[in-house]
Amino acid sequence: DAGITQSPRHKVTETGTPVTLRCHQTENHRYMYWYRQDPGHGLRLIHYSYGVKDTDKGEVSDGYSVSRSKTEDFLLTLESATSSQTSVYFCAISGTGENEQFFGPGTRLTVL
């Protein structure tokens, strides 16, 4: 299995609070992605990174920000969580020149 961990694995928070999810990889892969999974929607891209400090928006980026200060970590921040951001969040990684993405175990976030 690819070395990807996500933390926390589960989180319950209240509307309006800031939340940061962490994705950590030990594969030294250049590309990292954040997706959210919702019933009936499959997985949708939030943000992705193509290198340290290089990021771009995905399909559903509103309300989310990301940071990547080192190769192994990709942080997803909800500045002020809303109930619509209740979801399962998956991080994925891929190596340069590859298209196969390896997924982490996911973080289940509940915003009350």
Partner 1 sequence: AQSVTQLDSQVPVFEEAPVELRCNYSSSVSVYLFWYVQYPNQGLQLLLKYLSGSTLVKGINGFEAEFNKSQTSFHLRKPSVHISDTAEYFCAVSEASGNTPLVFGKGTRLSVIA
Tokens coding 31: 């590309």
Q: Toward partner 1, which CB reaches closer, 58 or 63?
A: 58
19-78 binders of partner 1 (CB under 8 A): 30-31, 33, 35, 40-45, 48, 50, 58
Distance CA 82, CA 111 (A): 6
Tokens coding 82: 């809303």
Give the H/E segment covering residue 4: strand 4-7
CB of 98 to partner 1, least distance (A): 7
Distance CA 7, CA 21 (A): 6
CB of 101 to partner 1, least distance (A): 6
Interacting residue ranges for partner 1, rule: CB under 8 A: 30-31, 33, 35, 40-45, 48, 50, 58, 90, 92, 94, 96-106
